[in-house]
Chain A
Amino acid sequence: MDTLNIKINGRDYTVPTGLTVLEACRYAGVEIPTLCYLKDINEIGACRLCLTEVKGARGMVAACVYPVDRDGMEIVTNSTKIQEARKTNLKLLLSNHDKKCLSCVRSGRCELQKLCNDYGVDTVDAYKGAMNQYEIDDSAPHMIRDNNKCILCRRCVAVCEKNQSVAVLGANERGFNTHIGCAFDQDLWEVPCVACGQCTAVCPTGALYERDETDKVWAALEDPTKHVVVNPAPSIRATLGECFGMPIGTNVKGKLVAALHRLGFDGVYDTDVGADLTILEEANEFIERVQNGGKLPIITSCSPGWIKFCEHNFPDFLDNLSTCKSPQQMFGAVVKTWYAEKNGLDPKDIVVVSIMPCTAKKFERSRDGQSAAGVPDVDVALTTRELARMIERAGIDFVNLADEEFDAPLGITTGAAAIFGATGGVMEAALRTAVETLTGKELESVDFKEVRGTQGIKEATYNVAGLEVKAAVASGLANARELLNRIRRGEANYHIVEIMACPGGCVNGGGQPIQPANVRNFTDLKAIRAKALYEEDANLPLRKSHDSPVIKVLYDEYFGKPGSHKAHEVLHTHYQPRETYGKDR
């Protein structure tokens, strides 16, 4: 039987088999509130907010995990008894919650706050009693953990363990003293956290959030001695609109540029230039390794969360990593060297602000080997969310802004760079350049569709000038772990591998706009956002990085050719093995 006839709140519905009560109720247009549920990865029935009545079942059932498995099932979702129970649940949560909503980073976008409002919680101190007090963990460069606001939904634990296989977060102690933390209550930066920030993107409250560095940017913008340039990453244009209520997957490139102009940056450039440059260097590195018997597979190095993960967990693969800096760092390095020279600026007086989908970029910019001009390549890495906060604070009417263009010269980019923001995009961009370089012929089609899509691991083989090039793409670190283990065990072999730390790539990065779980669970965020980038790629006149006029100028004027001595000095970096737990991280 493919369908079941059931009753929801007294009305008849026909629903497909294999659904949970929560999913079936969506067919009836009824949304059941949840706090802990994350589809596929956190189906633990812990928050008890989704309790519903199912006729014949003992007590109330957790809609998020209870299967609709029989014809004639009768579900009630909104009786006063249920409402009262949910209200009591929320009041209990509030009784051990730091209720400083007015100063909370998530105020207005907090799932707990919304539910309290929906259920008419009329008092925040219905239950007086002990409250746990926790120290705020600000040890990590990319994020803050404030357990005083944690409601123990464990969504962070689930993404960290299941999606990322990093598993540095878990429940410590028990009962009323249960709290989320690292093993033995170590600080986050004492354990092998990779800074991906996926936990911050799924936290329903203000317990986990990006380290806000907007003040540094405001200060720089006001400082007349500073030349402040900004560059948003490829994926920002596909997501920023969500912060202003626009539909998911809207490309807001023009408005983004207009807003950055209004914030007062001296140069509004595009990280995509850094991406194009990365492709030239990486394709060259790949070809060299293939031709000179270098270490294969070459593995991409654009994703700093992935890099740290590799350093902790797969130190034997460090030589496989491309030595190329990431687009953010290449962009910053070019600004502090070539751009500085060209404009007669002292690199010390330039402030490079990047807008990133990623919390790990905050960590990446402080790494060793990321200071081409003797000063850090990048000074501030803001997440999409922080930029939205700046735009809001500046009173910019984002939604109604007229489109504007990036500034010259670092604003002309290609479709190859645009797709960097999605899993498979770096691979496809590299293949466009590598294939043309190896064959010396122009590609008939620049579309490498086999490596597109949101699957966790993708494989493809391309015949390039007589060589069967085997490629693999993984996104989400659990998938990366799986892929690397296959390679380690000798079960698979590739020439080139692309890895992005976040599932689906940068469009689903840890610094991207937060979508509440009720959206996240039933919308493929990463697919819809990626679509905007592939559309941008299809519509751009230039779709191959080596066709970019800016890139040509950079090599003609400054670097000579890809892989040159100068290029190595400015555009490449190195890695270090790190312990998982214990000494010498």
Chain B
Amino acid sequence: MKSLEELNAIRDKVRDTVVIPDGSDKIRVVVGLATCGIAAGAKPVFNAIVDEVEKAGLGDKVSVVQTGCIGICQFEPVVEVFEGGKEKTTYVKMTAEKAQRVVEEHLKGGKPVVEYTIGANLN
């Protein structure tokens, strides 16, 4: 790394993939894959989402990435969906089966699976 400019260039290039800008049709799905998430079963969830996205032909539109601890232990495994200009959706206590439905209804169909969200699971 020789200069700040070089660093900024990388930042500008990658920024939009991490923070989906308004008006973008891209979707970013993150799966909490810290030790706690993995222990709660997040790996099969992650794999299921990757597989289903692939199967649904959403590969170009949806990126699925691992991330660290989201902080809500008792709700693991946690999956969050980021869409441009929208509040993120937090899915909790996920399973591979639930992931299938999220890909089908939310990522493909555009309609969040409300019953899996944190709002529906708070109490």
- Please say whether the chains A and B touch (CB closer than 8 A): no
Residues on B close to A: CB < 8 A? none
Residues on A close to B: CB < 8 A? none
